[in-house]
C-alpha cells in the first residue's frame, strides 16, 4: 500500500472525529488510570450517555502523566477546548454528562484545565499546571491524546513519517549519522551513545541481525516504559523498524515484563495493525526493506535487564549474564548474531530525530546529555506522575517545581534516582542537574528514570535495607561476591534496623560494598551497594542513631520505636482499644487508656485510628519500657 | 527464588496425559496441556512462552506438565526445572482461585507497603508464597507493578487496588472470609 493513501485515510478519520458534531470523551485507561477506577468511569459514561440519549463518542487514551489526578477524563464539545476533569468517579462522570453535555454547565470545580483552541471561563490551559510548566513534551506528546489501539490516530499525528523518510530518502549510514549527531544516549548505567552502538552493529559481519527493545522495566519505582507502551506503542515500533533499517536487521523482539499485561495487549494490537497497513512485514511501504517484530514476555528476573542475560532469556535459558570477557551484543548477541539492544524511551526518541533533525533534538539539554529526560516522579511528593523535562534541569526544580514539593508541609529528606542501582541524594545536592554525568558524579545515576522523593518520615537505613533486599533476591548467584556479599550486607542492615547493630558495622558495610562492586561481572552486582554507600555517605548520623542510641529518628524501624498514649489528650473513646490487633491496650470507657509495651507489636493501628481531634497517640523514637 | 527442589517434584514421573490437580478438589481434565503444546513447534527457544501459557492455564507448573513439556521439546525435566526455577514468575505448587499480589516497589515501600503486607498476612492467615487451605487466595509479593503514583498498591484477582492502607485490607476481602 502507498504511504500517502494510508496517511490520507488516517487523517480523514482523525479530522472527522474532531469535526463531527458529537462531543468526544477521552478516558485515560492506562494501568494507572485503571487502578484508580477508569474502567468503572467508562462503564458509567456509557450508561449515562445511553440513558440521557446523548450522542457522544467515548474513547480510551493513554496516560498524560498526572497520576495524582487519576482517573482523568477529557471532554471535548464541538468548537470548544477539551476540558480535563480530575479524580473522576462513576457518579461524577454521570454528573458531568448531565451538566456539561446536556445543560452546558462545565462544572469547572472538577476540572484541571483545558487543551486545544478556545477558552472556558474560569479555567486556564492544562499546560499551565506545575507538572507541565517546565516540561518539554516530546516522547509523551501523544500519550493521553490519542487512542493507542488505533493506528490511524498515530498516523494522523506524524506517525510512521520518519520510517517513510528513512526508507525512501536516507541510507542506513545517514540514519546512523543523524542519531549520532543528535547525541542520543542509552539508559544503561553508562549512558552509551545510541548512534555508536548502531554503527558497531552495522559494521559487524553477518547477514542475520536483531533489534531488541528492552522493556523489562524491573526497577521498582519506575513506570515510564509502561506508560509509553500503553499510551503510544507505535512510536516504539517505528523506532525499532528504523533501527532495523539502519543496522540491517529483519527481525526484532520486544522484551516486556509479564507484570505489564496491558502493555503486552496494546503492543500486540499495535503490531498487528502495523502489519495490516504494511508498516511491518515484507517490503515495508513497497520498499525492499522487510522487518517484523515479536513480543517476548519476561518471566520475572531483574537481572534480565542486563543485555547478555536478556538475550539468553529469549533463547529459553536461565538469564545469567555471560562471563567476562564477553563479546559485545553488537557483535555477538541473540543466537550469537549482531544485536542492537535499546530501551523503550530510546526507540521512542528516534522518530523525533528523523522528523525534526539532529540539531532540533539536541537544541535542549546539556553539552553531553541531549534532549529530554523522562522520570517517574513518585514517593512523598505532591504531584506524583510521569514527567518529561529538559536534560540538565536541577533536582530542586523537579521536586519543588514540577512535583509541587512535599505533602503535608513535611521536610524534604532525600531523592532517590536510578532505582536499586542508583543513590539517595540529600537536600544539599538539590541543585545538581538531572543529566547522565552530573548524577553519576554524586553517586546516583540516570538509569531507568525512577525518581522517588523521601521526606522526614523516611528512614534512610530502612531504604538502604529495602533496596539491598531487592537486589540480593535478584542476584543470579554466579559471582560469589554478589551472591554472598550482598547477603552479608543485608544481614548487617537487618541487624541495625532491628536494634542489634554493633559499632564498626558502618565500616564493615563500606568495605563489603566496595568489594561487591569490584567483584561482580554485571551491572547488578556492580551497582547493588550504591544505595547503601550513598546513604552512609550522606546520612551517616541516621546509621549512628540506630547503632549507638538504638533509635530510629524517622520512626520507621519497628524494633526501634514505641507508641504511647498521651494521658492529657486521651478521652477514653475506646477507638484504639477495639482496633488493636495485639490486645495491648487497656482502659475503660471515658478513662485514660494505656499501651502495654510488652504486648505492643508497634503496628501503628492505634495511631491511625485515634480521632484527629484528640491525637492522643504518639510515636517516639527508641523503645519504652512499660 | 529458592533453588532447592520442592518435595513434590518427581523427576522420574512417566509422562502421560492424566488429569492435573489444581489444588483442593479442583481437577483439570486430561488433554489441556497437549492443547497448549499444539500451539508450538517444539523448539527450545519456545520453552519460556510454553511454561507461561501452561502456568496461565493451570496456575502452576505441575510435575505432569513439566514432563509433557520435556517430551515435547526434547529436553530433560531437570533442565526445564532449572530454567523455570530461575524465574520468579513460575510456581511449582497449586495456587488459590484468586491471586493476591502485594507490590513491593520503592514508592509502595515508602508509603507503607510493609504494614499492608503484614495486615494481609494476618487477615488471610498465610505467609507470602502460600495459599489459604480452602484454595481461595494465594499471597505473593511482586517487585513493582508500575503504578507507583498510586502507592501502595495490591492486585487482587487481577484488579489493581490503589492507595491501600492496613485499615482498608478487610474491605479488599469483604464478604469473602477465608477463615
Query: In this predicted complex, what is the ipTM?
Result: 0.85
Look at chain B and report how many structural domains it folds into. Answer: 2
Q: What pLDDT is recorded for position A619? A: 94
Residue where a domain stops, chosen among B86, B111, B134: B86
Mean local confidence (pLDDT), A140-150? 93
pLDDT of residue B18: 52
Alpha-carbon span B146 to A259, nearest angstrom: 9
Find the residue in B nearest to A460 (Cα). Answer: B110
User: The domain containing residue A301 runs over which residues?
Assistant: 159-361
Contact A581 B48 (CB under 8 A): no
CATH code of residue A493? 1.20.1440.230
Q: Do residues B110 and A379 touch, judged by C-beta distance below 8 A?
A: yes
- Asked if A299 and B48 come within 8 Å (Cβ–Cβ), the reply is yes
Q: Measured between CB atoms, does A43 come within 8 Å of chain B?
A: no
At A421-474, the pLDDT tens digits run 888 999 999 999 999 899 988 888 887 788 999 999 999 999 999 999 989 999
Q: Per-residue pLDDT averaged across A149-175, rounded?
A: 97
pTM value?
A: 0.89
Q: Angle, nearest 10°, between helix axes B63-73 and B77-86? A: 110
Residues B102 and B60 grouped into a single domain: no
Q: Residues B52-96: pLDDT tens digits?
A: 999 988 888 988 899 999 999 999 999 999 999 999 889 898 888
> Hey, is the C-beta of B46 within 8 angstroms of any chain A C-beta?
yes
Please check whether residues A340 and A471 belong to one and the same domain.
Answer: no
Q: Are residues A331 and A225 in the same domain?
A: yes
Average pLDDT over residues A13-28: 92
Helix, strand, or coil here: A269? helix
Boundary residue ending a domain (B59, B86, B113)? B86
- Are both B164 and B114 inside the same structural domain? yes
Determine whether the interchain pair B52/A299 forms a contact, defined as Cβ–Cβ distance below 8 Å. yes
Residue A67, burial from CB neighbour count under 10 angstroms (0-12, 13-18, 19+): buried
Give yes or no for B89 touching A (CB within 8 A). Answer: yes
Judge if A444 and A466 occupy the same domain. no
Indicate if B82 and B102 belong to the same structural domain.
no
Distances in Å between the alpha carbon of B91 and those of A461, A594, B5, B36? 32, 45, 12, 18
Q: Are A31 and B82 in contact (CB < 8 Å)?
A: no
User: What mean pLDDT is predicted for residues A38-67?
Assistant: 92
pLDDT band (50, 70, 90) for residue A526: very high
**Does a structural domain hold residue B139?**
yes
Q: Tell me whether residue B121 is in a domain.
A: yes
Average of per-residue pLDDT values in chain B: 81
Residues B75 and B123 in one domain: no
B159 and B108, same domain (yes or no): yes
Q: Looking at the structure, do residues B80 and B116 belong to the same domain, yes or no?
A: no
Chain B residue closest in CA terms to A454 = B110
Query: Is residue A259 within 8 Å of residue A300, measured between CB atoms?
Result: yes
Task: Give chain A's domain count.
Answer: 5
d(CA A397, CA A405): 9
Contact A185, A194 (CB under 8 A): yes
> What's the CATH code of the domain at B71?
1.10.10
Residues A411 and A333 in one domain: no
Residue A326 has a pLDDT of 87
Q: Which of B45, B143, B150 sits opposite A316 (nearest CB)?
A: B45
Give the residue from A549, A571, A604 where a domain finishes.
Answer: A549
Instruction: Report CB contact under 8 Å: B47, A316.
Output: yes
Domain containing residue B80: 20-86
Q: Give the separation between CA A437 and CA A427, rounded to whole angstroms.
A: 19
Residue B144 DSSP code: -
Q: What is the pLDDT of residue B7?
A: 45
B170 interface with A at CB cutoff 8 Å: no
Are both A27 and A121 inside the same structural domain? yes
Give start and end residues of each alpha helix (H) in A31-160.
Answer: 31-35, 38-52, 90-96, 130-133, 151-156
Give the pLDDT mean for A501-522. Answer: 96
pLDDT score of A377 more than 80: yes
CATH for B112: 3.40.30.10
Same domain as B159, residue B124: yes
Domain boundary among A402, A436, A455: A455
Q: Do A250 and A295 reside in the same domain of the chain?
A: yes
Is B147 in contact with A297 (Cβ distance < 8 A)?
A: no
**Residue A582, pLDDT score:** 84
For residue A385, the chain B residues in CB contact (below 8 A) are: 149
Q: Is residue A383 part of a domain?
A: yes
User: Tens digits of per-residue pLDDT, A528-581?
Assistant: 999 999 999 999 999 999 999 999 999 999 899 999 999 999 999 999 998 887
Boundary (domain end) residue, out of B28, B51, B86: B86
A88: domain CATH number is 3.40.30.10
What pLDDT score was predicted for residue B76?
95
Kindly indicate the confidence band of residue A36, based on its pLDDT and cuts at 50, 70 and 90. Answer: confident
> What would the mean pLDDT of A210-231 be, rounded to a whole number?
89
Yes or no: say if A446 and A219 are a contact pair by the CB < 8 Å rule.
no
Q: pLDDT tens digit string along A232-269?
A: 999 999 999 999 999 999 999 999 988 888 999 999 99
Indicate whether A603 pLDDT > 90.
no
Q: Is B118 on the interface with A (CB under 8 A)?
A: yes
CATH of the domain at A214: 3.40.50.11540
**Residue A1 belongs to a domain:** no
Mean model confidence pLDDT for chain A: 93
Q: Is residue B8 part of a domain?
A: no
**B61 to chain A, closest Cα gap in Å:** 13
Q: How confident is the model at residue B1 (pLDDT cuts 50, 70, 90)?
A: very low
Q: Are residues A302 and A179 in the same domain?
A: yes
Report the C-alpha gap between A189 and A7 in whole angstroms: 39
Amino acid at each position: 500500500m502507498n504511504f500517502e493513501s494510508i496517511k490520507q485515510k488516517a487523517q480523514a478519520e482523525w479530522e472527522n472525529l474532531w469535526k463531527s458534531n458529537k462531543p468526544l470523551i477521552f478516558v485515560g485507561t492506562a494501568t494507572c488510570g485503571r487502578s484508580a477506577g477508569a474502567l468503572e468511569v467508562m462503564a458509567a459514561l456509557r450508561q449515562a450517555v445511553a440513558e440521557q440519549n446523548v450522542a457522544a463518542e467515548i474513547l480510551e487514551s493513554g496516560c498524560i502523566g498526572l497520576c495524582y489526578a487519576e482517573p482523568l477524563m477529557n471532554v471535548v464539545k464541538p468548537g470548544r477546548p477539551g476540558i480535563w476533569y480530575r479524580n473522576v468517579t462513576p457518579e461524577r462522570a454521570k454528573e458531568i454528562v448531565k451538566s456539561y453535555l446536556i445543560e452546558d454547565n462545565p462544572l469547572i470545580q472538577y476540572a484541571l484545565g483545558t487543551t486545544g483552541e478556545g477558552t472556558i471561563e474560569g479555567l486556564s490551559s492544562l499546560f499551565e499546571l506545575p507538572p507541565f510548566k517546565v516540561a518539554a513534551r516530546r516522547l509523551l506528546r501523544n500519550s493521553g491524546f490519542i487512542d493507542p489501539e488505533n493506528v490511524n490516530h498515530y498516523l494522523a499525528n506524524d506517525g510512521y513519517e520518519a520510517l517513510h523518510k528513512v526508507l525512501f530518502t536516507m541510507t542506513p549510514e545517514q540514519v546512523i549519522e543523524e542519531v549520532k549527531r543528535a547525541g542520543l544516549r542509552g539508559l544503561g548505567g553508562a549512558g552509551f551513545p545510541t548512534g555508536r552502538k548502531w554503527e558497531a552493529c552495522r559494521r559487524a559481519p553477518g547477514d542475520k541481525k536483531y533489534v531488541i527493545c528492552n522493556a523489562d522495566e524491573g526497577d521498582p519505582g519506575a513506570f515510564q516504559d509502561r506508560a509509553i507502551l500503553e499510551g503510544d506503542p507505535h512510536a516504539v515500533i517505528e523506532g525499532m523498524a528504523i533501527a532495523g533499517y539502519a543496522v540491517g536487521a529483519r527481525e526484532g523482539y520486544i522484551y516486556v515484563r509479564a507484570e505489564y499485561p496491558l502493555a503486552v495487549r496494546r503492543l500486540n494490537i499495535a503490531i498487528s495493525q502495523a502489519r495490516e497497513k504494511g508498516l511491518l512485514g515484507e517490503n515495508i511501504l513497497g520498499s525492499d526493506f522487510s522487518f517484523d517484530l515479536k513480543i517476548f514476555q519476561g518471566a520475572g528476573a531483574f537481572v534480565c535487564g542486563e543485555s547478555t542475560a536478556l538475550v539468553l532469556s529469549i533463547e529459553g535459558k536461565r538469564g545469567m549474564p555471560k562471563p567476562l570477557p564477553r563479546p559485545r551484543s553488537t557483535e555477538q548477541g541473540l543466537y550469537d548474531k549482531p544485536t542492537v539492544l535499546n530501551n523503550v524511551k530510546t526507540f521512542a526518541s528516534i522518530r523525533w530525530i528523523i522528523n525534526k533533525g539532529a540539531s532540533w533534538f539536541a537544541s535542549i539539554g546539556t553539552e553531553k546529555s541531549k534532549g529530554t529526560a523522562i522520570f517517574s516522579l513518585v514517593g512523598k511528593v505532591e504531584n506524583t506522575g510521569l514527567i518529561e523535562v529538559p536534560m540538565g534541569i536541577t533536582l530542586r526544580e523537579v521536586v519543588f517545581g514540577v512535583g509541587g514539593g512535599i505533602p503535608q508541609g513535611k521536610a524534604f529528606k532525600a531523592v532517590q534516582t536510578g532505582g536499586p542501582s542508583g543513590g539517595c541524594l540529600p537536600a544539599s545536592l538539590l541543585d545538581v542537574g538531572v543529566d547522565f554525568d552530573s548524577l553519576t558524579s554524586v553517586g546516583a545515576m540516570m538509569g531507568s528514570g525512577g525518581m522517588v522523593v523521601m521526606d522526614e518520615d523516611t528512614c534512610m537505613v530502612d531504604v538502604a535495607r529495602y533496596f539491598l533486599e531487592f537486589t540480593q533476591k535478584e542476584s543470579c548467584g554466579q559471582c560469589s561476591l554478589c551472591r554472598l556479599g550482598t547477603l552479608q550486607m543485608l544481614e548487617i542492615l537487618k541487624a541495625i534496623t532491628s536494634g542489634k547493630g554493633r559499632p564498626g558495622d558502618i565500616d564493615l558495610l563500606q568495605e563489603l560494598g566496595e568489594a561487591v562492586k569490584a567483584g561482580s561481572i554485571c551491572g547488578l552486582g556492580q551497582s547493588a551497594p550504591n544505595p547503601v554507600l550513598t546513604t552512609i555517605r550522606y546520612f551517616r548520623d541516621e546509621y549512628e542513631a540506630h547503632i549507638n542510641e538504638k533509635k530510629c529518628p524517622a520512626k520507621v524501624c519497628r524494633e526501634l520505636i514505641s507508641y504511647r498514649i498521651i494521658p492529657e489528650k486521651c478521652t477514653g473513646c475506646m477507638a484504639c482499644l477495639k482496633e488493636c490487633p495485639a490486645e495491648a491496650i487497656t482502659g475503660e470507657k471515658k478513662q485514660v487508656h494505656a499501651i502495654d509495651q510488652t504486648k505492643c507489636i508497634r503496628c501503628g493501628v492505634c495511631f491511625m485510628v485515634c480521632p484527629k481531634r484528640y491525637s492522643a497517640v504518639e510515636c517516639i523514637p527508641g523503645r519504652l519500657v512499660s | 527464588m529458592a533453588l532447592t527442589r520442592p518435595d513434590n517434584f518427581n523427576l522420574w514421573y512417566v509422562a502421560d496425559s492424566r488429569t492435573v490437580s489444581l489444588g483442593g478438589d479442583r481437577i483439570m481434565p486430561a488433554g489441556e496441556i497437549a492443547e497448549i503444546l499444539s500451539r508450538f513447534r517444539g523448539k527450545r527457544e519456545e520453552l519460556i512462552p510454553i511454561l507461561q501459557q501452561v502456568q496461565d492455564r493451570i496456575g502452576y507448573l505441575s510435575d505432569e506438565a513439566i514432563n509433557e513439556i520435556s517430551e515435547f521439546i526434547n529436553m530433560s525435566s531437570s533442565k526445564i526445572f532449572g530454567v523455570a526455577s530461575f524465574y520468579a514468575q513460575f510456581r511449582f505448587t497449586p495456587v488459590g482461585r484468586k491471586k493476591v499480589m502485594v507490590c513491593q516497589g520503592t514508592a509502595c515501600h515508602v508509603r507503607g507497603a510493609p504494614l499492608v503486607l503484614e495486615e494481609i498476612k494476618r487477615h488471610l492467615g498465610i505467609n507470602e508464597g502460600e495459599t489459604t487451605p480452602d484454595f481461595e487466595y494465594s499471597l505473593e509479593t511482586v517487585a513493582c507493578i508500575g503504578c507507583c503514583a498510586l502507592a501502595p498498591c495490591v492486585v487482587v484477582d487481577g484488579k489493581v487496588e490503589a492507595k491501600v492502607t492496613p485499615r482498608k485490607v478487610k474491605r479488599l476481602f469483604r464478604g469473602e472470609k477465608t477463615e
